[in-house]
A and B are shown apart, each in its own frame.
Chain A
């Protein structure tokens, strides 16, 4: 069909060329017509520049990147305030045929002021904080399957920071949880009482490790009901290239949080082969670093 149309097009163009060879149009008019076409092209170019502007802003605001599979991923992140004592962070990852999303909800000990810049997403303080989270929920989904981490009974506790000789060099207030729950597709897989280290319904078995080429990490949990849960984590740049790193110091973590993205892929028995595949721009969680910081960033475990 396309070949036939191509031949037809060529014939039509040639026929027209022959038909109009004798047309009585002088060179002045011909030039005038060329100017008409040039004017139209100039106009269109002006309108087309608007699309270039739009692409520039999508890039600058980091809304479009590439994942480890070479697919284009659109990313949108939002901060909202569902209640007076809550902050909610939502991150959406859209690929051609799928949509994954993540939200992280912090519930604080009291109502928050309008400016939350010094309050949100902290787990370390130099002094006992006025505002701190008492409950946090991390929810990930591919719109069909879901994974939820629930952190309850949270409060800052003072810890001693010692140097390599065992001498106390400072104090830090760190956010501890009394109970952590993991839910997969609405089923409680594991609840941990962090004061007694008792597990409900039972302690899972697990294994973890790094892939051979570095920058990639995985963990598998095997639960009481003969099911498993697996998570993989990749540190990638905007082109989807995996950062090869074998050991992470606090400085490395800072650099990673500043310059790279985190791609997390989750699967479980209940997902029937499906995955939750989320990309986060983690710079948000690198905003506070008190002296003697333990992590150099917001506790990655809470998020990933």
Chain B
């Protein structure tokens, strides 16, 4: 733990030292911190209290008209009891996460800009009482390099911005070793580690003073370093894997439309389908059933958000999101845990409400509420809750300049 804190402070010090060195140039220091106390309630378990805190200093140095350097450091800590999240079960009681971003923005012309950044992320989590923050099973870190090109132009006299980005990163789970390997010294050892290539393309257009729209396409290609594709048990083969490496492809599409009819109201509608395809299979030893491409799904989600400023200081944000996730090969369970003929799906509705009110200079009081309703065609809920309702409420302080 001490090592982590030391690492954290050394990083801040380096950032600030560089910052002071360039103090002759035009610089800006941005800071954001937040502390929230919250309560989580679910139809599946008793209500739990928790809190989270984050601190994020950022520095931008405008060296000249063409070059800007920037750095961002984020440290966040949260402590909660076992909860079910939208994307899955989380057992974690404590999470400490740190992000470091160092980047350079280069203006090639009035219209063309390039941004390159190095991104490091570390997440330490404790889930059970035999773990601590440094030994958590799901601890991971990643390091990546990202490049983004932006081009500002116009379409029928309307400002239009194109962005094309590529990110390469390596993600490592140092405490997650393949069990088959531990016994037999063959098969995948670091089965969660992977390299990722992410390509994104984005276009944003200002249609008029009140309206703007954007579209984004993201493609992620994951190549696992050790994990191998599982095979159906074949005759005279005492080995459950093939020689093929596991891979996954994710394609995400986001279409967003923003409209601000009045100065005190802005609205946003977003549609976002996502498709995941991979080559990993699963042999269900409970039922001796082979499920090909077990992780593949189609996800369709839509949301609507309103940002309301009823008077100068108070800020309301209210949103609704609906998502439908359907697995392409995984079958739903009946109440006894046996497979049905239907493909597993999950329908999720959520409503969020956030209120912010500045009490003194850059300090605001923030309150948030989140309600989630989840339905599925799986009735067997011994392992994972598919049908549930949950709510969370938070109150905290936000400091930003």
Bound form: Cα–Cα A60–B54 in Å? 31
Report whether A79 and B240 are in contact in the complex, using a CB–CB cutoff of 8 Å: yes
With A36-B70, A40-B101, A112-B235: A281-B88 Cβ-Cβ less than 8 Å: no
Report whether A37 and B87 are in contact in the complex, using a CB–CB cutoff of 8 Å: no
Residues of B within 8 A of A23 (CB): 26-29
Bound form: Cα–Cα A54–B192 in Å? 8
A88 interface residue, CB < 8 Å from B? yes
Q: Classify chain B's interface size.
A: 35 or more
Report whether A8 and B131 are in contact in the complex, using a CB–CB cutoff of 8 Å: no
**Max chain B Cβ within 10 angstroms of own Cβ: one of A29, A37, A70:** A37
Residues of B within 8 A of A88 (CB): 238
B43 interface residue, CB < 8 Å from A? no
**Max chain B Cβ within 10 angstroms of own Cβ: one of A29, A47, A83:** A47
Report whether B130 and A71 are in contact in the complex, using a CB–CB cutoff of 8 Å: yes
Report whether A70 and B88 are in contact in the complex, using a CB–CB cutoff of 8 Å: no
| Selected contact of B9 from candidates A8, A16, A64, CB within 8 Å | A8
Within 8 A of B (CB), among A37-89: 37, 40-41, 43-44, 46-57, 59-62, 64, 66, 69-72, 74, 76-84, 87-89
B209 interface residue, CB < 8 Å from A? no
Report whether B28 and A29 are in contact in the complex, using a CB–CB cutoff of 8 Å: yes
Report whether A81 and B236 are in contact in the complex, using a CB–CB cutoff of 8 Å: yes
Least distance between A35 CB and chain B CB atoms (Å): 11
Residues of B within 8 A of A47 (CB): 121, 142, 169, 171, 196, 198
Bound form: Cα–Cα A69–B128 in Å? 10
Report whether B235 and A55 are in contact in the complex, using a CB–CB cutoff of 8 Å: no
Bound form: Cα–Cα A298–B222 in Å? 41
Report whether A33 and B146 are in contact in the complex, using a CB–CB cutoff of 8 Å: no
Residues of B within 8 A of A64 (CB): 91, 137
Residues of B within 8 A of A62 (CB): 383
Least distance between A177 CB and chain B CB atoms (Å): 23
B394 interface residue, CB < 8 Å from A? no
Report whether B238 and A80 are in contact in the complex, using a CB–CB cutoff of 8 Å: yes
Report whether A66 and B383 are in contact in the complex, using a CB–CB cutoff of 8 Å: no
Residues of B within 8 A of A51 (CB): 123, 138, 140
Within 8 A of A (CB), among B151-188: 167, 169, 171, 177-180, 182-183
A169 interface residue, CB < 8 Å from B? no
Residues of A within 8 A of B99 (CB): 44
B62 interface residue, CB < 8 Å from A? yes
B77 interface residue, CB < 8 Å from A? no
| Selected contact of B131 from candidates A6, A96, A284, A287, CB within 8 Å | A96
Report whether B179 and A57 are in contact in the complex, using a CB–CB cutoff of 8 Å: no
Least distance between B366 CB and chain A CB atoms (Å): 17
With A47-B142, A72-B137: A78-B240 Cβ-Cβ less than 8 Å: yes
Residues of A within 8 A of B115 (CB): 36
A13 interface residue, CB < 8 Å from B? yes
Residues of B within 8 A of A54 (CB): 192
Report whether A52 and B85 are in contact in the complex, using a CB–CB cutoff of 8 Å: yes
Bound form: Cα–Cα A95–B137 in Å? 10
Residues of A within 8 A of B182 (CB): 92, 94, 99
Residues of A within 8 A of B5 (CB): 2, 5
With A20-B29, A59-B384, A81-B234: A71-B285 Cβ-Cβ less than 8 Å: no
With A17-B29, A56-B87, A116-B233: A99-B130 Cβ-Cβ less than 8 Å: no
Least distance between A69 CB and chain B CB atoms (Å): 8
A302 interface residue, CB < 8 Å from B? no
Please choose the segment from B16-24, B259-267, B313-321, B350-358 that sits at the chain A interface, where 4 or more of its residues have CB less than 8 A away: B16-24
Residues of B within 8 A of A79 (CB): 233, 240, 283, 285, 288
1/0 per position for A110-142, CB-CB distance to B under 8 A?
Answer: 011010110010000000000000000000000
Report whether A34 and B30 are in contact in the complex, using a CB–CB cutoff of 8 Å: yes
1/0 per position for A262-280, CB-CB distance to B under 8 A?
Answer: 0000000000000000000
Report whether B128 and A72 are in contact in the complex, using a CB–CB cutoff of 8 Å: yes
Report whether A81 and B238 are in contact in the complex, using a CB–CB cutoff of 8 Å: yes
Measured CB to CB, the nearest residue on chain A to B129 is A70
1/0 per position for B272-294, CB-CB distance to A under 8 A?
Answer: 00000000001101111100001
| Selected contact of A81 from candidates B167, B192, B237, B252, CB within 8 Å | B237
A241 interface residue, CB < 8 Å from B? no
B12 interface residue, CB < 8 Å from A? yes
Measured CB to CB, the nearest residue on chain A to B13 is A12
Report whether A80 and B128 are in contact in the complex, using a CB–CB cutoff of 8 Å: no
Bound form: Cα–Cα A33–B128 in Å? 40
Measured CB to CB, the nearest residue on chain A to B289 is A117
| Selected contact of B239 from candidates A6, A59, A80, A281, CB within 8 Å | A80
Residues of A within 8 A of B13 (CB): 8-9, 12
Measured CB to CB, the nearest residue on chain A to B288 is A117
A to B CB contacts below 8 Å, 21 in the list: A2-B5, A23-B29, A30-B30, A36-B70, A46-B198, A48-B121, A51-B138, A57-B88, A69-B130, A78-B283, A80-B233, A81-B233, A81-B238, A84-B235, A96-B131, A99-B179, A238-B383, A258-B336, A283-B337, A284-B287, A284-B288
A-B interface, 7 closest residue pairs, ranked by CB to CB distance from nearest? A56-B88, A52-B87, A72-B128, A82-B238, A59-B89, A92-B179, A71-B130
